[in-house]
Every structure is written in C-alpha cells, then in structure tokens.
Amino acid sequence: MNNSKNTIPIATALVALLAAPPTRSEEPQTLPEENTPEQGLPEENAPAQPLPEVTVLGTREANVPLSNVPSSISIVDREEIQKEQAVSNRIEDILSRQVPGFNPTNNGLRSIRGRTAQVFVNGVPVNEQLNATLGADLKLVRPDQLSGIEVSRGANSAYGFGSPGGIISLSTPRAQSEELELRTIVRESINPHRIGGSHQTSLYQSAAQIVGPFDYHLGGSIGFDGAEFDPDGNLALGFDGPAGVLNAKELLGAVDGSFGLDLGSYGSLRLTGTFDHVDLTEEFELEPGVYRETFGRLREFPAGEDTDSFRRAYTVNLSYENADVLGSQVKLEWLASEISSSFFNLGDPAVRFDTMSEYRGFRSSVTTPLEILLSGASITYGFDFFRNRLFTPAFSADTGELVMLFSPDATLDSYAPYGQLEVPIGDFVLSGGVRHEEYRGHVETGGVGLPGGIEGGDIDSFDLTLFNAGLVYHLNQQTDLYATFSQG
C-alpha cells in the first residue's frame, strides 16, 4: 500500500518487462515457545501487541494522523518496497518510481523538485551539511532491511536548515509479535544483455520477538553486487554502486537492530542502530570522451592494481519517551552517525581520497495540551543540538604523503530552540511555528602550501529564523485540502 497525499504510483510494468526480475525467496517462520506458568506468556490465541502509530515527518509531535499535516507526504510501506525490488534493488530507484519529484542525480545529490533533501535513518541525519554531494545517504541500508520509507516534499522547518526540498526518512523494523519470528530473503539477478560480470546476489536473515516488557529485532545481510551494464552490454556510467561511487563490483555486509524496553508509567527506552560495510573487489575509472566526437566510457583499473577501497558507516539512535510527564508528552533522543571511506583515483599521480563524515546530536520535544484554551489544541516545543564534522584529505597512493585537502577538517555546531502550535477548529486544523538556529564552527589548520591547504580558525557564527504555517480542511473521509507555508 502506498499512502500518499495527492500522489499517484508510477506504473512499472514496462520496466519490469525489459529488466530481468531477480528470483526471490522470502519465508517468514514462526517458532512458538512452550507456554509455562513460569514464563507467564499469553494463551496461544491471544492477539499480538499493537505497534505504536507512525510519526509523521511534517511535525515534531508524535502519533499525529497523516490527515492533520499540511504537507505533501508519501509513505512507501514494506509491501510496496518488495514489489519494486522485482525491478531494482536500489532505494533511489524505488523512490524514483514511488515519489513524485524525487531526483537521484548522478553527482550524489538527493533532491526533491530540484532542491536538496535531508535524509534520516531511524531519525538520524546522514547526509552531509558541509558537502551535500557525498551521495552515500540512501546507500547505508539495503531495501530488505527497511520497514518503510516516508517522504515529505517541500521545505520543512520542523527539522531545520538543509531541507529546502523535503525530508526522506528510512526506517528499519521493530518486533511485532510475542512469538519468535524469523525472516529469510534470498535474491539473485543478472543482466540478460551481459550475463558475465553482472551477477548480483544477497541473503538477509532477521529474528524478532516481544518478550514481556522487552522487544528486539536483529537482522543481517551479506551479498555481492556485480557491475552495471546498459542494454548494449557496455559498462554503465554514473553512481550505480552501493558504495556511492562509480560503477564497481562489491562485497556487501550490513546489520540492523532495534531493542525496546517498556518501563510502564516511567515511559519507554529504545535503541536502534545500523552498520554497513562495502569492499570494492573490482573498480572502473572514467575515460573522458571528446566533445561531439566520442562518448565517455568506463574502463577497468589496470590488472594487478589492488586499491583496497571501502566504505563503512553506522547510525545509532537512543530514545526515551513518556506519554505523561506532568500532563505532557516527552521524547528525548541521542543521535550519532559516521561514514568513513577510502577510494582511489589511479591517475598520474595515483591518489587515495579518505573521507570522514560524522554527526553527533541531541533532539528533544515536549507536547503540552492546551485544553484550557480550546479542545484538542496543543503546543510542541524543544531544543536540538547537532555537531557535524567533515574531513577529506588526499594522499599519494605510492608514498602515503598528504598531497592535497579536498575538504579541510571542519566542524559545524548548530543550536535550535523551536515551538509549534496546533489548533483544531471544526473541520479545520490550523498549525504554525517558529525555529531559531545558531551556527558556530571551526576549521583545523592543515595542508598549508598544498592544494586545498588552509590556516585554521573559527567560522564566523551566523543564525537564521524559520517560520511555518498551515491549514488543513477535512472535506470528507477520502479527501483533505491543505495550504502551507514553510521555510527550510
């Protein structure tokens, strides 16, 4: 099911006829444990505990109905993701067919309606504020690891600077049953235009269960990703590999986990995380074309060249929620992500580019009812802090000496209080808010005298204030009309 406001799923039948659909085996297995008085498990026919409602991206308040958000939002659930995987096992390809306006440009920049979009994995920001073209954000998890994708199109001031095009949120699964659930997915595909070298295979295995107040979901994936070829059997150009680099053959490994603890009246804790590692086993480099004469093409790295290129990444989200703290709903999150990579350019001279991109931060929200003013009215407010670091030095592949700084070692801190008001009036829902952000940063001294070298120092601080306002009219059960203004 694709739950979307004012969107129509794009037909993929023609693409499916032209592509080689991978074979797929998915076998959910349920292994019930014996019920004993000591375990205190429910009876066999007892219903599974329901999952909490999905938090909509357009607001910082939890459990808000989609119909109350004045924004164009698409939700691609697990069923739709599985259908799209018969055509392509790339998240960006799935979004291209499911989300109007999404554009996975070949320089790694994710955009919606031509503007940069923020990307989150389980609520953790993963795209680079200091360099938006790194292009690894949608490749940090595999489609088999996802429980759903949520996309909010248009500027979104609820999450601050860096989202003029919108927000893309990737979510991994949680446990849904008190019985042990095992899930196995095996995929295999080749390109019929070039069978040799296009082989792609993967195995995903997960286990999940709710055990009293504790729940867990743990999954792991391994695979091999062959090269991409066009219909003529030639190596395809572009950022087609899971590592977010030019076409290559890669060994893949990934882990996702979600662990929750219900503390009763004291709230709940949840830890979610992902880990991803990609080794490039065979690489190709771009051979430029000649204007109006020949097209550019890819060629294999010289035989015997072992570049040891890789990309490694992780995300972590530790959250605490309580539905009633002095009458208010509270959510606190500690967030972290890191992407490190090493890629080679076998030019003259040969150069190795190392990249380190990391986020550390804290996000908070408090939702307080305003029943004393108007039934159903509420205000959501909080404070966010993030530290974003980026460093990309380049070293000689022969000597290991620093030869240039593609990006100096830079750190940018952001501090942001915000407030958001929601007021229902009959069939209308009026909302509005403000977010003020202050930025401070520092650049380390490095590479002085080399290309890109810099004398370090503090970045001039700056600030901005973002406003939003929206109006939703519930015309009937099937139709909602809305108008919105938002900065991001």
394 bridge partner residues: 353, 404
211 half-sphere exposure, CB direction, 13 A CA radius: 12
Average pLDDT over residues 375-389: 92
| Cα 54 from Cα 39, distance rounded (Å) | 31
Instruction: For residue 16, give both structure tokens.
Output: 């499916």
pLDDT of residue 135: 55
Listed residue (257, 164, 217, 298) closest to 51, CA to CA: 217
* pLDDT above 90 coverage of the chain, percent: 41
| Nearest alpha carbon to residue 352 among 312, 392, 389, 313 | 392
Predicted pLDDT of residue 63: 64
Q: Structure tokens of 82? A: 């599985």
CB burial of 449-468 (b: ≥16 within 10 Å; e: otherwise) equals eeeeebeeeeeeeeeeebeb
What are the pLDDT digits (tens) for 320-336?
A: 999 999 999 999 999 99
How far is Cα of residue 71 from the mean position of the Cα atoms in its chain? 20
Q: Containing H/E element for 79?
A: helix 78-85
What pLDDT score does 486 carry? 81
- The Cα 49–Cα 52 span in angstroms is 10
Rounded CA-CA distance 262/267 in Å is 7
The mean of the pLDDT values for the chain is 80
Cβ-Cβ contacts under 8 Å for 478 (sequence gap 6 or more): none
Evaluate if residue 158 carries a pLDDT over 80: no
Which pLDDT tens digit goes with each residue over 3-13? 444 333 333 33
DSSP state of 101: T
Reported as a single tens digit per residue, the pLDDT across 194-250 is 777 777 899 999 999 999 999 999 999 999 887 777 777 777 765 555 545 556 788
Residue 103 has pLDDT above 50, yes or no: yes
**In terms of Cα–Cα distance, which of 205, 389, 202 is closest to 278?**
202
Q: What 3-state class would DSSP assign to 455?
A: coil
CA atoms of 281 and 248, how far apart (whole Å): 8
Stretch 134-155: mean pLDDT = 83
DSSP secondary structure letter of residue 139: G
Domains and CATH numbers, the chain: 2-33+54-486 (2.40.170.20)
Number of Cα atoms under 13 Å in the Cβ half of residue 172: 33
